Structure 1
Amino acid sequence: MDVLVFRALGLLGLAILVALAARRLRLPYTVGLVLAGAALAFFRVDSGLTLTHDLIFDVVLPPLLFEAALNIRWGEFRRDLVPVLALSTVGVLLCAAAVASGLVWGLGWQVEPALAFGALIAATDPIAVVALLRETGVTGRIRLLIEAESLVNDGAAAVLFTLVLAWAAHDAGAAGGPLAVVRALAEIAGGGVLVGVVVGLAAVAIAGASDDHLVETALTAVAAFGSFLVAERLGASGVLATVAAGIVMGNLGVLGARDGLEPALTPHGRTFVLGFWEFAAFLANSLVFLLIGSAMATIDFAREGWRALALAVLFALAGRAIAVYPVCLAFARTRWAVPANEQHLLWWGGLRGALALALALALPPHIPQRDDILICAFAVVAFSVIVQGLTAPFLLRVLKIGPPAAQTD
């Protein structure tokens, strides 16, 4: 126990140093964490933790998703629900198909692993995207579009990934026709939203009967992790469940005053809850990006070949472009039109991160080219977090998006 506590304190201390250094050097905090994690692995410093699917899903995702969803106002989200859903469903399918086609024709991959990789890399990662938006200070409608899409598109990606794995295993019952796809979407995405709404409403109702800020905060923690675990146990999307619970609790319990609703939580409870989840998100972000850096340092990228890795990154970028621009074009003459400069940010700011790695790490051993998928997933995430993360502030100035200070520096 003493060793575990010492290692946890060591990681927290490192995260604090990285945060201070990143602010002084004006570098994205997430990039600094990844580089620090890689340095730990290079110097063979054992952190006592390794990046696994269970760690990402059970420990890291719930607090990060809940904290982001807690600050989304339903009125703003509802106004852009149609383009968000289009990007999260049609966009995911277009991206996965484009990436898989590129791997088959450009690298000679088999169809099954190519589709599996396309599915896991199609969804933007809510962890990386939310961190990027926070660091760059992006606000307004474009922030809502990018953040909401990253929180929602996991449902479609999870359905697609599950169906691809079932098809690759020649399970005709699980990977049936269009009706099977609709049923799977209803069960995974719809079930996740339903669980989140029910858990969120229950937590708000109980919180309304208490005036203790500690009890109120404890209820939000139960809602965040409980909705995720219950949904996953039922075969639904834990990500969408936590997002739904966060939106319900945020709008009915914390943010309701601006929308004409009386918040269920006490004034002190609302302030305490927001501060608590901001700190929890900082801890989760620090942990996951340090571990991503450590894991990347142990991957033998040379085995795959630098040409193959470069093409995998290009296919991922091209797939994201195919997901963004045609979908936005469909809304060009509607009230949901997205300006061209914001479309460019949707494309370049659609980062891949821990979510893609979690799906890749969960691939069954019998999947052909499993090691190729894992190596290419780490390569795309490394490029996304480091290169796209580092260049995002410059892109914001070029596109004239973000706080006035960021545009005139």
Structure 2
Amino acid sequence: MLLVSAIVATVSQRLRLPYTVGLVLAGVVMALTSATSQVHLTKHLIFNAFLPPLIFEAAYFIPWTELRRDFSPITVLATVGVLIAAAVTAAGMHFGAQWSWPSALLFGVLISATDPVSVIATFKDAGVHGRLRLLVEAESLFNDGTAAVLFAVVSAALLGAGMSAGAVVLSFVVTVVGGVLCGALVGAAALLLIGRATDHLVEISFTVVAAYGSFLLAEQFHLSGVLATLTAGMLIGNIGPARAITDRGREAVGAFWEYAAFLANSLIFLLIGLRGARESFAALLVPTLIAIAVVLAGRAASVYGCCAFYARAARRISLQRQHILFWGGLRGALALALALGLPPETPDRSQILTVTFGVVAFSIIVQGLTITPLLRRLGEIETKPHS
């Protein structure tokens, strides 16, 4: 799979094809061979193997000084925006696809957040920099945590936990705050250890422990592993290079995490293609098309609605960048992990899973192929001359 990933990366660059799209298509082709028949995409594989390094790497390179300027609109998009998107999607699936409210709500919550794995990989490929990239990447990281927590709370409430409205709110707050505290604790401990190391390999090792340790510690206590790793990554990334990591370590740690993200991205998109090729969409074509439409409608309501609050603010988001936030809101690994993790007794589980794969496939392939032309048309990246 690593060999295929390296070849796809080379070919995609020559064809000017988004790397993520090439990987998914390669996964579909690989699904036709018997060599990959025993390869399976599971929630535990995504959560325990792929998400921690991907989230940590993205958070490590986010500068707090720049994030602070746009913290308010990013937070609103990642909280209120997720709720708006989930509500619109759930209502659309209930009234449009005739799904029951529990099934529609579960699907609305798990598909409501943009996925940092897909978004960050696509914007890196497109060569986006500056405030736009910060807005898109930070929002996808923050709303990833919000959606994961919201899904855990909603699924517990709908699948027999009998939680009251007050208990749901309390559970949400505890999961979020607890996850952030776990990440801060692990990140601070890692910084203390890194500060006493002089070997760049040891420094890399401590960051790896922080990435996985923060995630697994939080999940062990039923808190948000995503927010824990996000917090640890931002803490180490903003304090470590200036105060704790050695000169050689700064370069080594950065290079290591870039490669770790490339490796995890490569495998996860190949596995998405492999698993998606095995899904039977024919029987659920109409619900899948309805889901694509209502997910896009929910994203539009989320982006344009939340950004309207900042129309007269100093840090307002221009309309053309709102278009990019809308169309660049890709879905991916997180939605699949949440859908794959639904208990077997969940009503309509197979339908939710298949439709989720359909929405993710549309997002990665159709939106992934068209986001770069949109960025060029809106003047966010330069048009490259043909050789």
TM-score normalised by L of structure 1? 0.92
Q: What residue is the counterpart of 2:293 in the other structure?
A: 314
Deviation at 1:88, TM superposition (A): 0.7
Q: Distance in 2 between matches of 1:406 and 1:101?
A: 42
1:8 corresponds in structure 2 to none
1:231 maps to 2:231: no
Distance (Å, rounded) in 1 between the aligned partners of 2:250 and 2:142: 25
Measured in 2, the distance between the counterparts of 1:58 and 1:230 equals 11
Counterpart secondary structure, 1:42: coil
Quote the sequence identity (%). 51
- The reply to whether residue 126 of structure 1 matches residue 116 of structure 2 is yes
Question: Hey, what's the Cα distance between the residues in 2 that align with 1:160 and 1:62?
Answer: 19
Which of these residues, 180, 184, 206, is aligned with residue 193 of structure 1? 180
- 4+ residue runs of structure 1 moved beyond 4 angstroms? 405-409
Give the aligned partner of residue 19 of structure 1: 9
| C-alpha separation in 2, matches of 1:45 and 1:13 | 14
Are the equivalent residues in 2 in contact too, given 1:195–1:230 (CA < 8 A)?
yes
Counterpart of 1:258?
A: none
Q: Deviations over 1:265-304 (max 9, x none)?
A: 0110000000001111111011100000000000000121
Partner AA of 2:83 in structure 1: L
User: SS of the residue aligned with 2:128?
Assistant: coil
1:288 equivalenced with 2:268 (yes/no): yes
Count of equivalent residues: 387
Looking at structure 1, the residues matched to 305 and 69 of structure 2 have their Cα atoms a distance apart, in angstroms, of: 20
Q: CA deviation at 1:162?
A: 2.2
Query: 1:247 maps to what in 2?
Result: 234
Q: Is the aligned partner of 1:162 residue 2:152?
A: yes
Match of 2:339? 360
Contact 1:116–1:161 (CA under 8 A) maintained in structure 2: yes
Distance, in Å, in 1 between the alignment partners of 2:133 and 2:44 is 29
Question: Residue 247 of structure 2: which of 267, 275, 289 is its match?
Answer: 267
Work out whether residues 24 and 270 of structure 2, in 8 Å CA contact, stay in contact via their aligned partners in 1.
yes
Note the C-alpha offset of 1:48. 4.4
After TM superposition, the score normalised by the length of structure 2 is 0.97
The question of 1:374 aligning with 2:364 is answered no
CA distance in 1, matches of 2:156, 2:209: 33
C-alpha distance in structure 2 between counterparts of 1:227 and 1:205, whole Å = 15
Cα distance in 2 for residues equivalent to 1:201 and 1:39 = 45
Cα distance, 1:408 vs. partner?
A: 10
Tell me the SS of whatever aligns to 2:161.
Answer: coil
Answer whether contact 1:155 1:188 (CA < 8 A) is retained: no
Distance (whole Å) between structure 2 residues aligned to residue 201 and residue 324 of structure 1: 34
Tell me, yes or no, if structure 1 residue 153 matches structure 2 residue 143.
Answer: yes
Q: 1:61 to 1:277 in 2, by over 3 A?
A: same
**Are 2:335 and 1:348 aligned?**
no
Give the Å deviation of 1:406. 5.1
Alignment partner for residue 54 of structure 1, among 44, 52, 58? 44
The correspondence for 1:143, drawn from 118, 133, 152, is 133
Residue of structure 1 in register with 2:62 after alignment: 72
Residue 395 of structure 1: aligned partner: 374
Q: Which amino acid aligns with 1:384?
A: S
Paired residues of 1:397 and 1:408 also in contact (CA < 8 A): no
